[in-house]
Amino acid sequence: MAKRNSDEITRPTDEEREARIDQAELLTLQGLSRREVQKLLRDKYDVSLRTATRYVSAAFSRWRESALEEDGRSVGERRKEHERMIRLISAKAARDGNLNLQLKSVDMLMRLYGTSASNRVEVTGANGGPVDMRSVSTKDLIRLVEDAGIES
């Protein structure tokens, strides 16, 4: 919904809308719930709940699209980028004294590197059956090992 100033309705520019979606991403990455992010966006930009919800949904859509597109980066490169993002969040949480978010970021790092006790990796073949090793190329095997985070 557009921002209301008395009887005048103003709509955000494309740049403003993108900046608001960026803000929704940042707040979500800081560990806030969807509802908390929506409330902050409503207050900051004087928009309706529906509009704030659209900003948050657009942030999640961006992440889904980004995860689905192949951009030529290796799993290792993606891991490094994710680690950098998590460390930035952790540093901000430490500055703000947010222990809960610091603990969440440590948990995220542990899951990222497979050091969490509950992390398991299972590789299966077609329909959940055994992997037919005769049909797996060396390139695919290397990718599976890298995806599992196993160092060779």
Q: Is residue 128 part of a domain?
A: no
What does the DSSP assignment read for the chain? --EEETTEEEPPPHHHHHHHHHHHHHHHHTT--HHHHHHHHHHHHT--HHHHHHHHHHHHHHHHHHHHS--S--HHHHHHHHHHHHHHHHHHHHHHT-HHHHHHHHHHHHHHTT-STT-------GGG----GGG--HHHHHHHHHHTT---
- Where in the sequence is the domain holding 78, given as residue range(s)? 74-115
- pLDDT (average), residues 49-74: 84
Question: Within this chain, do residues 48 and 16 fall inside the same structural domain, yes or no?
Answer: yes
Q: Is residue 148 part of a domain?
A: no
pLDDT in tens, 65-115: 777 676 777 777 878 888 888 888 888 888 888 888 888 888 888 877 777
Q: Is residue 97 part of a domain?
A: yes
Q: Is residue 122 part of a domain?
A: no
In terms of pLDDT, which residue wins out, 118 or 46? 46
- pLDDT (average), residues 1-15: 69
Question: Within this chain, do residues 95 and 34 fall inside the same structural domain, yes or no?
Answer: no
**Count of structural domains, the chain:** 2
pLDDT in tens, 12-27: 999 999 999 999 998 8
